[in-house]
Amino acid sequence: MVNDIRIIRGRYVRPDTDTALRLAGYQPGPAWDKAGDICRTLIPDVRRSVQAKAALSFAVAKDGNKRLYVITTLGAVVSQRNEQYFQAGRDVEALLFGALADSCLFAFEKQLLPQIRQICLEKGVGIERRHEAGVDIPLAVQDEAVLAVAGERTLGVTVSKNHVMSPGKSLCLIFDLTPDTHQFHMEHDCRTCSQQDCSMRSLPPQQPADTRGRVMVCPAGMTILNYIQQQGVSLAVHCGGKGICGACRVRVCKGRVPDTPEDRAFFSADDIRLGWRLACCAVPAEEAEIMVPAYTENPLAAVGEEGFSAAIEHTVSPDHTYGIAIDIGTTTLAAALVDMTTAKLVHTVTAANSQRVYGADVVSRMAAAGRGCGPGLQHAVQQDLVCAMGSILERYQGIHPGRVAISANTTMQHLLMGYSCEGLGEWPFHPVSLGGRTLVWDDVFTERLDDMAPGCSVQLLPGISTYVGADIVAGLWHCHIDQSAGLSLFIDMGTNGEMALGDRRHILVTSTSAGPALEGGHLSCGIGSVAGAICSVSLSDGQIHIETIGHGAPVGLCGTGVIEGMAALLENGYVDATGKLRDPYFAAGFAFAHRPDGKAIGFNQEDIRDIQMAKGAIRAGMETLLHEWGAVYADVQHVYLAGGFGYYLDPQKAAVIGLLPHELAGRTIAVGNTSLAGAADVLTEDRAWNGMKAIASSAREIILGNMPEFQELYIRHMEFSGIYR
C-alpha cells in the first residue's frame, strides 16, 4: 500500500571529472590526463543535458517489510545525447560523457540523502538498512520501486520485462525502515557489497581498512582529545570539540571508555563494539590504550571548497622559480605554491587551524598561551603549516621553493613564533613584533622540509597593531585601496571584524570584537565550513529549504547558513525587531533541520542574541569609521568583503539582518582570501613588500572603545528594527 509520493528536483548537480575517470576505468598517468582534458570539453554538454529529478514513496513491500522506495533519474535527454556520440563514432567521448553523467547521478544521490533523512524524521521513522538492487536483493525489486513512485507519470521512468530501468541514467534506492529515529544507515556500505572490482570501492570512515596509526595510553578522567593534543598530535576537530562533525575518530584498543550519544550518532553498533569513539567526547573510565588513525590527523582540502581564488591547478617548470604563500587564519590556514616567474598560483591546500581546540577566537588563545599552552599552540600551527607545505611539495616533486611569505593577524604571528602574548591582551597593548621582517627557515620552523631550498627565506608580512594585523595590510594592498581615487570600505568579517576605510590619500583602520558567532562559533549548532554544514537557508510558504556543503547530511550551521537562517526568520516574522523569537519557538528554539541522531539544528534565543551582538559591533564599527572620516554611505564607491566567509556571503541577506546597510549591498564585492593573495603578491611583485610597509606605517587606527559614538551605534544596531522590508 502506497502512502504518498514526494518529488524532488536536483539543484546544481554538477559532473566531476575525477569521479568520471575512475568510473571509466582510468588510472593516474598520461592516459588519465588526456582523458581529463576530453572530459573538460564535454562538461558543458553534460550540464545542459542533465535534468535531475527523484520520486520517493513509503510503502509496504511484498514481503511485508515497511520500505522507502526512491527512484532518481537524470532524464531522457542525457541518455539520448550519449547515444548520439556513439552513433557518430566518437566512442571515447561517448564513454566519458556517460561516465560524467554517472558522476552527476552520484552527486544527486548525495544531495538527496539529507532531504530523505528529513522526510523520514517527519514520518517518525529511521532507516535500518540500505539495499542494492541486483546485489543483495533481486533486481526485480526495481519493478516494485517504479510502481510505488508511479515512475512513468512522475519521472518518465519505466522498467522492462528484464527489470531494467529506462532512461539508462536512473537509479533505484531501497531502504528498510525502523521506528528508531536515531538510525539512519543511508550510505552505500562497501564492506557488505559483493562487487569487489568496483572502481568506486572504498571503505567508509566508520571502520577504516587501514587501522594503523599512533598508539598512546590515555589516563582516566581526561577527554582523549585533550590528552592527544598535550602529546603534540594535531587531530581534525572541525567543530571545535562539540561532537557534531565526527572528524576526531579514534579507536580504543584496551581499557573501558563509555560510549556517548555523539558516538552513537556517527558509529554503528558494531563500530562502537570495536572501540571507535569521538575523541572530543570520550573520557576513559580507567587508563586506556587508544589508537589515532593516520587519516584523522590534519586533513587537507582542495582550495576550491573554501572559496579562495586559486582553485585552478597549473603545471610547473624546472626553469621557473617558486615560493610558498601562507595565510594563517584563526579558523583556517592556507598554503599556495606560487610560480614567481609567471606570477601564478600553481596549487593551494587549506586545513583547519588545529589551534581551534584551545579557543575559537584570538582572545581565548591569548588566554591559553598565558596558562602555559603557548608551546602547544606553536607546535599545532607549525605542524599544520609543515604538513600543508609538505603536501604541496610531494605533489610537485623536484620543486625547491626559495621563499616563503606569511600573512597572519598579530596574535597568530606571535603564536607561530613562540612570542609571549602577554602584551596583546590589555591596554595599551605591546606586541613583541608587528612583522615586516625577513628571516631564514630555521629561525621560524623547528622542523625541516627537505624540498625547501637551502637558506630559504621567510618573510613575515607587516601589521598595523595588535588587532589590525598583516592579513588586513595584505588585503588593502591586494585591493589597491592605497591607490584608489574613490573611497573604499574593506571588511574582514572574521572573529575580530577588522575593517578599513580609505583611498590614496590616507586609510583609517579599526577592529571590533564581533566574536565568532557570524562564522558559526559559540552558537549551539555552529560549526566551521565542513562537509554537512548548512550553508544556505530559505523559508517559503512555511517550508524550510536548506543546502549543505558537499550535499551531505546536516551537522550544523556555518557562517553563511547563520546569516541566511537569521534573514529567513526575520523576513517571515518568526523574530521581532528586538530579536525575540515568537511563540512557541521562544522556549524551544527554531529548527531548520535535524542531525542524523535526531538533534535539532537551528537557533535558540541565546544564539540570536549572539548574532545581534556580532552584527551590531560590525555595523557600528563601519559607521564609526565613516563618522571619523566625515563621510556617509553614498560616498563609498566599493565595499570589499574579504575571507572565505565573505566570499560566499550574500550581501542582500546581510542587509536583511542589518550587517550591511541596504545602500551598500549593491556595491559590495566578495574578494576571497586577500590575505593569501597579498602574501603571493610579495613573492611576485617587486613593489609589494615596501608598499605594504608603507600602508602599515601610515594607516591610522581608530580605537572604538575610545569613541562615544561607537557605543551608541552598537546599541542601536543590536536591534533589527527597520532592517527588513
Domains within the chain, CATH numbers bracketed: 2-192 (3.40.109.40), 213-296 (3.10.20.30), 301-460 (3.30.420.480), 471-514+614-718 (3.30.420.40), 517-610 (no CATH)
Q: Which three cell numbers stand for residue 610?
A: 549572539
694 or 237, greater pLDDT: 694
- % pLDDT > 70, the chain: 89
Sheet holding 543-548, edge to edge: 543-548, 533-540, 556-557
DSSP letter, residue 432: S
Length, in residues, of the chain: 725
Helical (H) or strand (E) element with 2: strand 2-9
DSSP letter, residue 294: G
The gap between the terminal CA atoms of the chain, to the nearest Å, is: 47
> What is the pLDDT of the chain when averaged over all its residues?
85
Q: Give every CB contact of residue 573 below 8 A, 6+ residues apart in sequence.
A: 582
Count of CA atoms in the C-beta half-sphere (13 A) of 389: 31
C-alpha span between 708 and 241 (Å, rounded): 38
Place of cell 569613541: 707
Of the pLDDT bands very low, low, confident and very high (cuts 50, 70, 90), residue 236 is: low
pTM above 0.95, yes or no: no
Q: Which range (9-18, 231-240, 278-287) has the least confidence?
A: 231-240
* Contact yes or no for 213/293 (Cβ under 8 A): yes
Q: Does residue 317 surpass a pLDDT of 80?
A: yes
Provide the 3-class DSSP secondary structure of residue 154. helix
DSSP letter, residue 456: -
| pLDDT on residue 294 | 59
| pLDDT on residue 590 | 95
Of the pLDDT bands very low, low, confident and very high (cuts 50, 70, 90), residue 207 is: very low
| pLDDT on residue 107 | 86
